Structure 1
Amino acid sequence: MTDAIDALLEALELKDERRTGWVLRGIESPESVAAHTWGTATLCLLYADRAEGDVDRDRAVSMALVHDLGEARTGDIATRADDDTQRVSGEEKVALERAAVTDLFAPFESGNGDRDRDRDLESLWEEYEARETPTAQFVKDMDLLDNCLQALKYERGDRYDETEPNDAFSQYENLDEFFATAAPRVRTAIGETLFAEIKARYEQEIGRECQL
């Protein structure tokens, strides 16, 4: 069983774990998973009050903070627009991350027999994965939007060479794939509104309509 300090040290690996999608695209100094976690949590903090339905802002921020925790052990397995290019299946990815999250949270159980409290951290991750509650659906949208915002930031900062051959992104120009993977998965009204605004800014940067 991992003890608390060991669990914390392992969790801190997220500060150094680079986001695989950006690495594959050849982004200069790509963000870490921890940076993406912060971005998602910040979007939850700022937009939860504008979301439709019963979205709990505090729970949304907490959920955002733990949603990629398992990647401290599994690494960041990128989501691709083409299923044939997925390195690991979605089911296998969830199973690997569930095992990691369960282990990493175990040292922080209260030990006082309060199972509701002991399972709350793990239940945040499970709720996020299930996407059945308004809060979980909202958090997932903010996760997708953080990725789109980061794509816009990298495009504005000229952080990659679009002329370099790149087999990993041969079907998409520029950073279009990051919008293509997000578009069919956005489920909330606030998510759709923000996605449209970010995509429009991105299209202004690249000077054409984004390929989806």
Structure 2
Amino acid sequence: MADDRESEPEPESESESELGLELERLVELLALKDERRTGWDLRGIEEPESVAAHTWGVATLCLFYADRAGEDVDRDRAVAMALVHDLAEARTGDIATRAEDGKQRVSGEEKEALERSAITDLLKPFADRDGDRSDYLALWEEYEARETPTARFVKDMDLIDNCLQALAYERGDRYDETDANDAFTQYENLDEFFATAAPRVRTTVGEDLFAAIKARYERAIGRDCQL
């Protein structure tokens, strides 16, 4: 007589279990393709970029400009660092840096703590098999510390990407500056994105790019004064 009881599924091997956890984390990380950048959303930009799009922009800038940033900047490491620098936002969301007093949703310290907790867990499945520390987590921590030439360069390219995007949105007429907007009461147009970047740019190549982009932005809005 045949045994018609349902057979129990074969237990997953260790390698299958590890791969399964990696895939679940990847599904979570890929949500960054749909996570819209908060700063543009607040400003009322039509169909603003995603966090993943911003990541691509930063990585591309690192690829193109690392050679101009000095011999202490490692281009391959910079591109890798750019790819991981915002992965935590798959869980925390994009916490925008604000220039206007009283507009920052959480402090810088709180933001870093939230993101550190998120990135540590998200990257666990991709840790070296010999230990619990991931090279990818080390890249993120280096970026946050800004203590190496490569990390400072990547942060500058992060800021430059924001400025380039602001220029693109201004040229593309992607928002209505006449609309009342409680999120932007002190700054006109997309000025806040330049105001937040200006004091934080730390490399020569970053300063050169910032000045050139800002000049084009000023022309795009028909203004010659300094921000």
1:173 has 2:191 as partner: no
Kindly tell me: are residues 8 and 205 of structure 1, through their superposed partners in 2, closer, same or farther at Cα, counting changes over 3 Å?
same
Instruction: After TM superposition, give the deviation of residue 3 of structure 1 in Å.
Output: 1.5
- CA deviations 1:56-93 (Å, max 9, x no partner) are 00000000000000000000001000242100111011
Identity among equivalent positions (%) equals 76
Q: 1:9 aligns with which of 27, 32, 46?
A: 27
1:50 maps to 68
2:50 maps to which residue? 32
1:1-212 matched pairs, under 5 angstroms: 3-111=21-129, 113=130, 118-209=133-224, 212=227
Aligned-residue Cα RMSD (Å) equals 1.5
Where 2:123 maps in the other structure, the secondary structure is helix
Aligned residue-pair number: 209
Task: For 1:163, give the aligned amino acid.
Answer: T
Distance 1:39 1:210, change over 3 A: farther
1:209 is displaced (CA, Å) by 3.2
Paired residue type of 1:66:
V
* Counterpart-to-counterpart distance in 2, 1:176 and 1:12: 31
> Distance between the aligned counterparts of 1:170 and 1:114, measured in 2?
50
Report if the CA contact (8 A) 1:172-1:211 is conserved: no
In 1, distance between residues paired with 2:102 and 2:179?
23
Please say if residues 199 and 210 of structure 1, whose CA atoms lie closer than 8 Å, have aligned partners that are also in contact.
no
Counterpart for residue 3 of structure 2: none
Distance 1:211 1:100 in 2: 39
Q: Distance in 1 between matches of 2:100 and 2:187?
A: 11
For residues 30 and 224 of structure 2, the distance between their equivalents in structure 1, rounded to whole angstroms, comes to 39
Contact 2:123 2:136 (8 Å CA) reproduced: yes
Does structure 1 conserve the Cα–Cα contact (< 8 Å) formed by 2:37 and 2:49? yes
How far apart are the structure 2 equivalents of 1:189 and 1:12?
A: 34
SS at match of 1:102: helix
Deviation (angstroms), 1:32: 0.1
Distance 1:175 1:210 in 2: 14
Q: Could you tell me whether the CA contact under 8 Å between 2:69 and 2:204 is conserved in 1?
A: yes
Report the secondary structure of 2:48's partner residue: coil
TM-score, structure 1 length as denominator? 0.95
Q: Distance in 1 between matches of 2:224 and 2:60?
A: 28
The structure, 1 or 2, with the larger RCO (C-alpha pairs under 8 Å, 6+ apart) is: 1
Q: Assess if the C-alpha contact under 8 Å between 2:123 and 2:134 holds in 1.
A: no
Q: Which runs of 5+ in 1 are unaligned?
A: none
